[in-house]
Amino acid sequence: MIQRIPQRGKTDCTICVVAMVMGHQYSYERVLQDSEKYPKISEEGKFYGWWETYLRDEGFLIEYRPFMELYSLPQYRGSVVGLLMFDVPHIKYSHIVAVDELGIIDPADNAPPHVDIGEYILQRRSQGAVFHNEFLAVADSKTVTY
């Protein structure tokens, strides 16, 4: 089960979520410091998903999976977790949350430790959220293989 790491600022949800999916040995401070080694913007000026390289470098298996497979994560009992990204276009905002066998873990202020996947998706969609077509499945290479 993932332990929630709350955001400390408006733009650090990625640091929180990456630390959460990597487990207890990866604190907010460690991921924040480690993230400095990875480029955030491509040469073309596009945002770069630095966490993909970081997760691989740290021995995690990652794979983008179709959005609907998110609902299958509980069957893995925590051995496979996910990073789910979405945009809220009307306020020009993007966000990322963690997903484990118990549901969604949102690092945003005052969020509960876990929310049912379906409930969270419906609530956020009602607020204008547009979820990405895929989520990033993450597994520790020492404990599971795809």
CATH number of the domain residue 128 falls in: 3.90.70
Which range has the worst mean pLDDT, 61-65, 86-90, 130-134? 86-90
Is 118 within the bounds of a domain? yes
pLDDT of 63 above 70: yes
Residue with tokens 């480029």: 39
Q: Which DSSP string corresponds to 57-101?
A: HTTEEEEEEEGGGGGGGGGGTTSEEEEEEEEEGGGTEEEEEEEET
- pLDDT tens per residue across span 5-37: 999 998 899 999 999 999 999 999 999 999 999
Range of the domain at 36: 13-140
pLDDT at 90: 84
Which pTM does this prediction carry? 0.92
**Any domain includes 117:** yes
6 assigned to some structural domain: no
Any domain includes 8 = no
Does 145 map to a domain? Answer: no
Total structural domains in the chain?
1
Residue 68 neighbours by CB under 8 Å, 6+ apart: none
